Amino acid sequence: MVQAKVFFKCENFQKMGAFKMRGAANAILSLSSDEQAKGVVTHSSGNFAQALALAAKKIGVKAYIVMPKNAPQVKKNAVKTYEGEIIECDSNPIAREEMAVKVQKETGAKFIHPSNDDAVIYGQGTAAMELLENYPDLDYIFSPVGGGGLIAGTALAAHYFSKYCKVIGGEPINADDAYRSLLSGKIELNDSTDTIADGLRTNLGDRNFPIIKKYVEKIMRVEEEEIIAAMKLIWERMKIIIEPSSAVAFAALLKNKSDYKNKNIGIIISGGNVDIANLPF
């Protein structure tokens, strides 16, 4: 179909269903035992909340998860299953940052940002590292771009563990902050984030953007219908369940396949947490 060899790194099969487990585990394991004893805190209503809670549980560390009051009950339940302590806040970015600071002050817990944290970035990079261990001849790795942690880690892994592998980002046109940030040279924000790829609505941060600027070859944008078509193709032909955000990198390859003929290409399938009762097809 692409006239290239394509290898998929299936992070949908990762613990809690997404690559986020890697960064969360690495961030907690990078703390001193004194720091670990005080616990960790993050603000997230998505996969990172579950990842940090599960990683903390496995390592034996307390996790405080700041979540907006109106977060879906299913996501709150998942965090509770992993024994994370939920602290509710109002549903806006300032309220959740303030609440995270408050928890830090009261408990001494270490704040871990879902994507703008060095240890998180390095952890996310282990997906590409493993892919390159299995397929050292990859010419390109395609990764989705959301908050920037995954693609920054992927770019570092390609830089340090491969001689020539280049990293390309896939991003929804409807939330193309990273594409515009690479053009302007500074972190751009999204005016709107009307995309089915709900994991890719966040903005880049000051820790991951410099890495992305230095090591990512380019970012390619895709339309909503291209994301849905790529997702459906993977479901139907590969028989695996991936979330819309995961389809974005593959959609970018499909859209530009003529440029990648006969190449060896890795695709990071970032996760598989999707509401199967509410599908776009």
Report the interface residues with its own copies, using CB under 8 A: 12-13, 17, 232, 235-236, 239-242, 272, 276-277, 279, 281
The smaller minimum CB distance to its own copies, of residues 17 and 146, is found at 17
Minimum Å distance from CB 279 to its own copies? 7
The smaller minimum CB distance to its own copies, of residues 10 and 95, is found at 10
DSSP 79-93: HHHTTPEEEEE-SSH
Nearest to 212 by CA among 134, 115, 131: 115
Minimum Å distance from CB 246 to its own copies? 10
| DSSP 3-state of 220 | strand
The smaller minimum CB distance to its own copies, of residues 67 and 242, is found at 242
Minimum Å distance from CB 210 to its own copies? 33
Minimum Å distance from CB 238 to its own copies? 8
The smaller minimum CB distance to its own copies, of residues 13 and 160, is found at 13
Backbone angles phi, psi at 14, to 5 degrees: -70, 160
Minimum Å distance from CB 150 to its own copies? 18
Q: Which residue reads 């270490």 in tokens? A: 110
User: What is the Cα gyration radius of the chain?
Assistant: 18
Tokens read off for 101? 């600071």
The smaller minimum CB distance to its own copies, of residues 38 and 232, is found at 232
**CA atoms of 188 and 103, how far apart (whole Å):** 29
Minimum Å distance from CB 16 to its own copies? 11
The smaller minimum CB distance to its own copies, of residues 31 and 269, is found at 269
Tokens read off for 87? 């602290």
Q: Which residue reads 């776009």 in tokens? A: 280
Query: Residue 82: is it exposed, middle or buried by C-beta count within 10 angstroms (0-12/13-18/19+)?
Result: buried
Tokens read off for 37? 């004893």
- Parallel, antiparallel or unpaired: strands 63-68 and 40-43: parallel
